[in-house]
Amino acid sequence: MVRWYTNVPQDPDGIPSYAHDVEFQSIRCWHNPALLGRVLKCFSRVKILTICETGVPPDEVRKIVSSGKFGRDITSLTFISPVSTVPTLMSLALSLPNLRELMIDSVVQVKPPAPTPPDKTWQGGPLESLELASLWSKELEFIALCEVASRRVDLSVGNVSIEKVIAGSSETMRELTLQGTCFLWNSVSRERF
Amino acid sequence: MVPVNVYHPMVHLPPLPALTSVKLEIRSGTLSLRLVDILSCIRSVPALSSVAFKYPKMSGVEAIHASSQWIDVDKSLARLAMEVKSERSLVVVLTPWLEGNLSWEKYLPEFRRAGGELRVGHGI
């Protein structure tokens, strides 16, 4: 495997189209928001896309999704501390017809999640893996409304909305991992007379 | 007067007919209470084949004894073992250090009677 790094904002055209595994790292703010869409279009064969501590502007995602030409080969999508909102991230995820693995960890919100349900729900079969970590209740509820089911569900989130996410995968889920969620359950001892 | 633990889960899980594996990473709190709280929420799991526990080694483990909490852990595991419809029995996977310090086999009699197995694994 060959790995190299490029400064995307300064050299947006210096990207090989044949890259299969792409990670955006620490581009918290795009001075030119249109650059994200332009760069993503260069990766016509990407299969694994990771966006880490990088801005994902909603308007650009809207353009990318509406073009209908992006991400046909993407099977794995990972967001780690993206500067965005869950609705924006899910909009991108739902546009990927061959997505098999989705991970969202610690969204850095630029604004609170919209209370409205998603425009679109997941139309594909169950994912192989859905990993969610450090998300707020409303963010989990939004993901649940997207009707994403998965065979493997890994939750490391501290609010009761995990039950809605689990319910969405109740028929398909084979593996369930709960990490650090135990304070969601409480027990009360009492005496029976 | 019989002391009884009554569990009021904040999370209500639906039946999970395809579920084969549950992994629980418990980072804090009293191990037996945390286990029974979660296990009591899991129901209708006919395909379940393994339950794995992970617990931080350095935070200290409560002494296992025949407390009502551990009796409830045993009962919950026994209930899950009896729900299993496949020919293979339900396996509880323990981290090696946990198994070494605690006499699990002695304190999970109902689970064993229900056909459950205890194994030592290397965490989750």
At A84-120, the pLDDT tens digits run: 999 999 999 999 999 999 999 999 876 666 667 888 8
Report percent pLDDT > 70 for chain B.
69
- Yes or no, beta carbons of B6 and A189 under 8 Å apart: yes
Q: Is residue A13 part of a domain?
A: no
pLDDT of residue A161: 85
In angstroms, the separation between the Cα of residue B1 and the nearest Cα of chain A is 5
Burial class (CB in 10 A: 0-12, 13-18, 19+), A105: middle
Q: Is residue A10 part of a domain?
A: no
Q: Is residue A9 part of a domain?
A: no
Distance of alpha carbon B41 from alpha carbon B65, whole angstroms:
23
Q: Is residue A3 part of a domain?
A: no
Contact B37, A185 (CB under 8 A): yes
- The sign of the CA dihedral A15, A19, A25, A29 is positive
Q: Is residue A161 part of a domain?
A: yes
Chain A residue closest in CA terms to B10: A185
Amino acid at B93: V
Q: Is the ipTM here above 0.90?
A: no
B103 pLDDT more than 70: no
pLDDT of residue B118: 86
A86 inside 8 A of chain B by CB: no
Q: Is residue A16 part of a domain?
A: no
Q: Is residue A190 part of a domain?
A: no
In angstroms, the separation between the Cα of residue A164 and the nearest Cα of chain B is 9
Structure tokens at A152: 């493997």
B71 inside 8 A of chain A by CB: no
Residue with tokens 């019989």: B2
Amino acid at B62: E
- Yes or no, beta carbons of B28 and A186 under 8 Å apart: no
Give the pLDDT of chain A (193 residues) as one tens digit per residue: 456 667 766 666 666 667 888 899 998 888 888 888 888 877 778 899 999 999 999 888 998 888 877 888 999 999 999 999 999 999 999 999 999 999 999 998 766 666 678 888 998 899 999 999 999 888 999 999 999 999 999 999 877 788 899 999 999 999 999 887 655 555 443 333 2
Residue range of the domain that includes A29 = 21-184
Q: How far is CA A120 from CA A104, A116, A148, A156, B34, in A?
A: 18, 12, 11, 25, 37
- For B83-87, the CB contacts below 8 A with 24+ separation are B83/B43, B83/B44, B83/B45, B83/B46, B83/B48, B84/B45, B84/B46, B84/B47, B84/B48, B84/B49, B84/B115, B85/B46, B85/B47, B86/B46, B86/B47, B86/B49
Sequence-ordered list of residues with C-beta below 8 angstroms from that of B8, at least 6 positions apart, any chain: A186, A187, A188
- Yes or no, beta carbons of A185 and B38 under 8 Å apart: yes
CB nearest to A174's CB, from B13, B20, B68: B20
Count of structural domains, chain A: 1
Against a cut of 0.95, is the pTM above it? no
**Rg of the Cα trace of chain A?**
18
Q: Which residues of B touch A179 (CB under 8 A)?
A: 25, 27
Contact A73, A98 (CB under 8 A): yes
pLDDT of residue A185: 53
At A104, give phi and psi (nearest 5°): -130, 120
Report the CATH number that the domain containing residue A69 is assigned in CATH: 3.80.10.10
Contact A64, A91 (CB under 8 A): no
pLDDT of residue A193: 26
Sequence-ordered list of residues with C-beta below 8 angstroms from that of A165, at least 6 positions apart, any chain: A130, A132, A140, A143, A144, A153, A155
Q: Is residue A4 part of a domain?
A: no
pLDDT of residue A192: 30
Q: How far is CA A34 from CA A53, A55, A62, A103, in A?
A: 18, 12, 11, 24
